[in-house]
A and B are shown apart, each in its own frame.
Chain A
Amino acid sequence: MRLARAHSVHVTHMRVATAVVAIGLLAATAAMAANTAGNADCPFDPTLHRDAQSIRAEVSRVAEFAAPSAGKRRSVGSPPIAYFEARNIIDTHILDALKRAKIAPARVSSDSEFLRRVTLDLAGRIPTSGEAQAFVADTSADKRDKAIDRLLASDEFNDRWTLWFGDLVQNTQFATAIGQGTGAGSVAYYKWIRQSLAERKPYDAMVRELLTGSGDPVLVGTANYTYRLKQGNGPLQDTWDNLATQSGAQFLGMQLMCISCHNGAGHLELVNTGLAHLKRRQLWELAAFFSKTSINRFVQEPNVFPLDYVLNTTSGNKSPRQPIEGQSDIVLPRYLNGGAPADGELWRTAYARYLTADRQFARAAVNYIWKELFGLGIVEPADNFDLEKLDTQASHPQLLEDLTDAFIAGGYDLRALMRVMTQSNTYQLASHYDTGAWNESYTPYFARHYPRRLQAEMLFDAMYRATSSRFDVCQGTPAICSQPGALHVTKTVASPDPYFLLGFNIGQFLSDFGAGDRDVIERSNSPSLVQAISMMNDSLVLRACRRSMNTTVTAILNETLDPDRITERLYLATLSRYPTANERMLATQYLRGGKVEDRTEDLQFVLLNKLEFLFH
């Protein structure tokens, strides 16, 4: 599908080529056509992607989508499809597409499944046994909305979304590109992010503060944004380019890196039509907003010796920067819409102003948050928007625009955005699909909630919470750590950066589960052999099951030796639900098959290894 579209774009490009070039391209195309065997749709040599089918299925979230109208038709005579009720504009749009394609959505999730999911998504933890029981027992009609509000208002919300934001801006202690530690700046950065979220700072204000942060990164959280993007092994222009490309990806969802070495034309036609029309000079113009900032261990604007973005580099990490005939070798700052700094305005302030006023800023943010909550963006990849093809790149383009409007009108309030999303029935659909046979082509319709593995920190914290295990890490001497305000990390979701816990086996666990390093190793929630080995054999896991270690198992056995009670309590604590009748039967049978204390430990181990614990 993707390649077919690429093929048609290629043909279009050919038609507009100049005569001279067209000869060469025609010859090339003829040769290419001669070379392709088998699939006439595919302009590329099929042996190149002999495994691409299976790989593509595994490389999640990156395929382009079929238009919503190309869904599978249900056969005549099958029972009528049950559609969920539309609670808000999200449901309206999603239902519209589902109905046109005649795709059956999954059922709405059970109370237990919903509570566990929304608690993880908004607060980064699993529900307590008490919460799980109370929620099921609650008969009020608006209990789900109330749970959402409670979680949005919780302090744990701040931890969970600080983690997300820290990933976005790659807050870490050590950055390869800088070639030296970013050091204690990561804690100041972390604190600023958390404080901003806690005081409900509008998202656009957060980003403006970040882009303009100055001072010592160790002391000033926001100064870390700029310092983090320094490129140690190249000319200053490499660092300024980083600031433009990375802020473009993080806050505009655009892959401006593609035009940091060359124009879009002649390179990106098959990749991104919007970017294909941009010029390298436009990237330089964005980067030029940073040339008056000195970026060292101390970030300062205006620079004592402010510089211009001069086209005079021949080495570094980009192709040579040289003026094209007739153009100046000094590039002045200009935003993508042509805007320049106002008189007397600091240049980074101008950049932040234009960027956050850009509709694409709001749109990209909406899509990133959607992706985090739904498992898949409305636009994929979320950092590679094609602004000239939104109506086909987005699975639900009008929904995206409506949510963007709402986000802007609502003052860039992240909680309000998440409220709308989590309140929708679309979000609350079950991950289990039993209303028909699931077909991969249903993916862009959000016909179910996409089950995915818990991310590393949430998985670890879930394991610790379920088993009443504890840890406390503070980086510093006992004297420092006993002072009020000293940073104690007692759950991994609240770790300021990937290195904070690295010296401990907790850090290894997180690394094995794909937490990444916010530098060269991106976060991944894909399963791996190492993870399976860890859940099976890691002493962290086994200790959490032992009655000798003051765990949930300890508490349960102190209270009861009744297999049925034991089973129920372990299920509630670990899986946030009651066991089914069949599970009760199997588990109690097992518990009765030997020494009940040992077997209780076994059951705890089994529940932690259950796929349902790891995926949701």
Chain B
Amino acid sequence: MKRNDCQICATPPAFPLNGAGFSRRGFIRLGGLGLVASFFSDVFHPSLLEAQSAIHPTVRGTAKNCITIFLEGGASQADLWDLKEGGWTPAALAPTSYGDVRWPQGYMPKTAQHLGKLAFIRSGLAWVAVHPLAQLWAQIGRNPASLTGRIAPHIGAVVAIESYATRKPDDVLPAFIAFETPKTTTGYFPARYGPLVIRQRGSGVSSLRHEDGNARLDQRLQLLDQLDADRTGGLAKEANDFADFAVTARRMTESPEISPLFNVSGADHIRYGNTTFGDSLVLAKQLIASRRGARFVQSTSYGWDHHSDIYNALRGRTSELDNAYSALLADLAAMPGSEAGKTLLDETIVMIYSEFGRTVGPLTNQGGRDHYGRMGIVFAGGGVRGGRIIGKTDQTGGKAVEYGWKANRDVRPEDVTATLYSAMGIDYTTVRHDDPLNRGFDYVPNAREGQYEPVDEIFS
């Protein structure tokens, strides 16, 4: 990994009261106190003023569901979402103009047909260029080495916990589902908000099949019920929770409505590109569309860390992504939402993200691109306004020349998190007071002080 100069060396989200990152706007808006910031540097405690926070969060609430596609390894934004051409661009990439957007037509032809649905953030910037840290950073929406980073759950678990208030008895699927994804952590949240991690085998999910047959399973479970009859008698609440999960597991294995949701038909398999990743998006669509409790599904596409021979390596990845993503968008757009007049895509925000980007301009001497802070994020559905492009970079795509949103700075993973929460109707300035550290767990670090906020511009 080559170190590049300081796109990514910017000050990370430090605790705001020691100077770096604190928004002075926060103080001024507290209005009427007439006190200077420096007096507060050792006395001011954010939570004392929580209820008086003058940041009025804009919570969009335009999406009921969320599908996130994580490109593992660091996707090359300057070859995809923010295409910059030069002597390095191979002919096969076939850059083509669609209005203002320059698109790698040769590599992602099918997605080109959906450009009208997509919003791009081009002024994204990762904090670190190290895979495991950056991957985790993007998925928990904060610095993993920070205090709350140690207890923070995956973004999907936050969505899950927030969606539990509106679950119906019929909602048998867990709210958060993830396909084999690196480091999905539930943090300090109870396990029920953690992901149902799906390991795909063949055309379905093997763990939902009882090998000895459903008839035998039925018999077995009847005997179990008899022998466990006094289970509520002495054991812990957690034992009862397990028993509830067992009931759900049984429904998922045996129910003629639920278990098909975990199977991919031959036709869908082909239409989504004939890959395991493609299958995962079929399943994501089915699980969300079933309206049986699943609200956040994450799938990971592996292998985007192209340090060498990038344009050959990218071909396979983009083909896989292109087939699956375009089919997903088409299907979601063609399916009805839960509200009249809306499609499922209208109610589902789909996000493609990665842990960081890749170096820009000419290739390295390995014919590849190395880790780089500048990155792109792609949104569709769930209230997102298609055609929006947030931010503008320079000629090679490294530096932002226009940030493109009201905060007027690089878009960070924390802002992306806030954007998702806002779309899902979650108050991203929420601070929970049930955390083991007893200091409050903020969904987005210091959002109440205005340090991060949603990129609202993708919705309007």
Contact = CB atoms under 8 A, between A and B. Distances in A.
A281 to B, nearest CB: 13
A269 B46 CA distance: 12
Contacts of B231: 611
Given A320-B19, A532-B249, A611-B231, A20 B35 contact: yes
A255 interface: yes
A441 interface: no
A3 interface: yes
Interface in A60-112: 60, 62
A308 to B, nearest CB: 22
Contacts of B226: 586
Nearest to B236: A451
A537 B211 contact: yes
A590 B235 CA distance: 25
B196 interface: yes
Given A35-B52, A536-B217, A537-B207, A615 B133 contact: no
A257 interface: yes
B211 A50 contact: no
Contact of A527 (B50, B196, B238): B238
A384 interface: yes
B1 to A, nearest CB: 9
Contacts of A3: 433
Given A537-B211, A615-B236, A49 B20 contact: no
Contact of A177 (B15, B145, B252): B145
B12 interface: yes
A317 B186 CA distance: 23
B14 to A, nearest CB: 4
A387 interface: no
A232 B233 CA distance: 51
Given A261-B15, A451-B239, A538-B207, A532 B248 contact: yes
A179 B371 CA distance: 13
A603 B39 contact: no
Given A179-B133, A263-B42, A270 B197 contact: no
B227 A521 contact: no
A359 interface: no
Nearest to A14: B48
Interface residues of A, number: 111
Nearest to A586: B226
Interface stretch (A134-142, A361-369, A431-439): A431-439
A537 B253 contact: yes
A266 B44 contact: yes
A294 to B, nearest CB: 20
A59 interface: yes
Interface in A204-246: 231-234, 238
A609 to B, nearest CB: 6
Contacts of A521: 183, 185
A530 B196 contact: yes
Nearest to A29: B48
Interface string B153-191: 000000001001100000000100000000101101111
Nearest to A30: B52
B14 A536 contact: no
A533 B234 contact: no
Given A21-B43, A45-B50, A514-B191, A432 B33 contact: no
Contacts of B52: 28, 31-32, 35
Given A316-B12, A534-B207, A59 B436 contact: yes
A611 B235 contact: yes
A605 interface: yes
B146 A272 contact: no
B303 interface: no
Interface string B222-262: 01101110010111111101110110111011000000000
Interface residues on B, range: 35 or more
A35 B50 CA distance: 10
Nearest to B15: A261
Interface string B134-151: 001000000111110010
Contacts of B48: 10, 25, 28-29, 32
A615 B14 contact: no
A610 interface: yes
A611 B228 contact: yes
Given A176-B133, A529-B248, A537-B210, A55 B434 contact: yes
B242 A611 contact: yes
Interface string A530-554: 1111111111001000000000000
Contacts of B249: 529, 532-533, 536-537
A303 interface: no
Interface in B25-54: 32-33, 35, 39-45, 47-52
Contact of B17 (A23, A262, A430): A262
B208 interface: yes
Contacts of A176: 132-133, 136, 144, 183
Contact of B144 (A24, A62, A520): A520
A56 interface: yes
Most buried by A among B143, B235, B253: B235
Contact of B227 (A51, A529, A598, A606): A606
Nearest to A231: B145
B432 interface: yes
Nearest to B247: A532
B14 A319 contact: yes
Greatest chain A CB density within 10 A among B41, B219, B252 is at B219
Contacts of B186: 524
B50 A177 contact: no
A404 to B, nearest CB: 23
B245 A52 contact: no
Contacts of B190: 55, 58-59, 526
B409 interface: no
A238 B145 CA distance: 10
B296 to A, nearest CB: 15
A314 B11 contact: yes
B239 A611 contact: yes
A24 to B, nearest CB: 5
Contact of A320 (B14, B144, B185): B14
Nearest to A106: B234
A284 B22 CA distance: 23
A201 interface: no
Nearest to B43: A266
Given A44-B51, A48-B433, A269 B45 contact: yes
Contacts of B245: 527-529, 531-532
B239 A266 contact: no
B42 A265 contact: yes
A266 B192 contact: no
A557 to B, nearest CB: 17
A238 B432 CA distance: 28
A31 to B, nearest CB: 4
Interface in A539-595: 539, 542, 583, 586-587, 590
A57 interface: yes
Interface in A391-437: 430-434
B242 A531 contact: yes
A258 interface: yes
19 contacts: A18-B43, A31-B51, A59-B436, A60-B238, A176-B183, A234-B145, A258-B439, A262-B15, A266-B41, A271-B439, A315-B12, A431-B236, A432-B234, A451-B239, A453-B242, A524-B186, A537-B207, A605-B220, A610-B224
Given A530-B196, A532-B246, 8 more contacts: A44-B50, A266-B41, A319-B20, A434-B234, A451-B238, A514-B191, A611-B228, A614-B239
Interface of A: 2-3, 10, 17-18, 20-21, 23-25, 27-29, 31-32, 35-36, 44-45, 48-52, 55-60, 62, 174, 176-177, 179, 231-234, 238, 255, 257-258, 261-263, 265-272, 314-320, 381, 384, 430-434, 450-453, 508, 512, 514, 517, 520-521, 524-539, 542, 583, 586-587, 590, 598, 602-603, 605-607, 609-612, 614-615
The 3 lowest CB-CB distance pairs between A and B, nearest first, are A432-B234, A527-B242, A532-B245
